[in-house]
Every structure is written in C-alpha cells, then in structure tokens.
Amino acid sequence: MASKKYIEARDNLLKAIDLAIESIIRYPNGRDKREMPGEIEIYSNNGGKIVKEIVKLDNKDSNGNTYTDLTWELKFYNDRKERLLNAEKKFQTLQSLKYDIEDFFIYFQETAGPDVDEFWRRIKEANLPYERENKLEKIMKRGRIRNDIEYDYVIDTIVPFQQEGILSDEDVKRLNEMIEKFESKRR
C-alpha cells in the first residue's frame, strides 16, 4: 500500500492535470487548428556543443487520422493520469512522483500565454501546493547544478532561452561550465 503522503501528492498532481486540461481547452491558442507535425527539431547540449536532431513523431491515430496539437496534448495528459493511477508499487514513492511532477510542470513553468496564466490562477484558486518559479535564475545565482532534475531543466532550456534572448552569451558560457562540472561528478 502506498503511503498517505504519496497518495496526497499524487492526488494533487491529478487535480493539477485536470486543471491543465481545462485551461488548454478554454484557451487552445491555435492548438485546435494546427496539425501535429510528423517530425520535430530537438536541440541538445552535447559536451558544450549544441546538437540538432530531427525526431520522427507518430502523429496519426490507429485510423490514420492526424492529431491536432490540442488532441495530442489532451491524450498525453489523460495517459499521464492513467499511468499515475495505475503505477506499479515500486513507483509509488514520493521520489518517483517528484519526477512526474517536474515533467508535468515543464510546459507551465517555461512558457507564457493565456492558457498558462489560467492554469496558474486555477492552481492558486484550488489551493494546490504548486507555484510558478524561475528555476534558471536560482541555478545561476547558486552557480551550480544540484541534481538530475536541475540538470535536465538546464539542458532543456539553454538553447531556446538563448534563441529568445533570455540568456546572454556569458550566461550560456556559465551554464555550460556548470553542466560540465555536474557531468564530471556523475562519471
């Protein structure tokens, strides 16, 4: 049997997922019109070198219908809920759930728009234990990456943040040094 703390944290995440679904339905931001692409560009940091990779996506259902961004996102969130509700016993831990929470909140922590604003308003209204934070600012102030979650966050955001002008070349240089230091500790 999972602990009471785990069940409470899982249920909070399930409520947050429901709020996400309601928020993106209310403010689809064009997701309901755009077909999901058959491939997507992924950028990653490979030892201080930015690598571009093309990843093929399965953007059709079993009947050959193309998903829109909205239908794919709704399916993704519902699949996530199903996985949480039916997690294997060995994954019914707070530590395992932290990764699910981190993964779920990436979009809402790293983007902006009416759907994101609505989501955070509803999270606060529902009195759920989550808040929006600027993780990169905290990492930059501290000057080091503490764990795998922060490492994944930096890897996922460094290129888009640099492209959007959020990070200067000097910031990117500092982050790459932190990445190298963290990676060398993992070996």
Give the phi and the psi of residue 3 in degrees, each rounded to 5: -70, 160
Which tens digit of pLDDT belongs to each residue from 50-97?
A: 656 665 555 555 555 556 677 778 888 999 999 999 999 999 999 999
Query: For position 63, what pLDDT does the model report?
Result: 59
- In angstroms, the CA 40 to CA 55 distance is 5
SS3 state of residue 84: helix
- In angstroms, the CA 177 to CA 187 distance is 16
Mean pLDDT, consecutive 10-residue stretches, the chain (187 aa), reads: 92 96 83 57 55 58 62 86 92 93 87 84 96 86 92 84 82 95 88
Query: For position 136, what pLDDT does the model report?
Result: 87
Query: For position 3, what pLDDT does the model report?
Result: 93
Query: For position 56, what pLDDT does the model report?
Result: 57
Query: For position 179, what pLDDT does the model report?
Result: 95
- In angstroms, the CA 147 to CA 115 distance is 30
